Amino acid sequence: MSTITITEDNFEQEVTNADLPVVVDLWAPWCGPCKALSPVLDKLAEEYEGDIKVGKINIDEEPKLAEAFNARSIPLVVGLKGDEVQDVVRGFRGEPPIRELFDKLLEG
């Protein structure tokens, strides 16, 4: 399992009640940086499988979730434990800041 699609319908099950920390990527199909981020997230999802769950929220299809995360600009990558936000990375500046978010989630 690499990344999962998160919707309003499955948010509670996949994020709030998840057994693992969750990294959520808020994105849109028209967003160039989001497309550049996607393979990095897929790679990290495989690398951290079993320790961290990775999900994607399409903000065009899930406007209420985008609003709940205050997603003013995308990509927006959020690290969560339950419903507690642990860390946020705005924009895409390569793999290092994303990897750092994953590592922080495991440390905490």
CB atoms within 10 A of CB 4: 16
Token pair belonging to 43: 């790679």
Pairing type for strands 84-90 and 76-81 reads antiparallel
Cis peptide before 33 (omega within 30 of 0): no
As annotated, the active-site residues are 31, 34
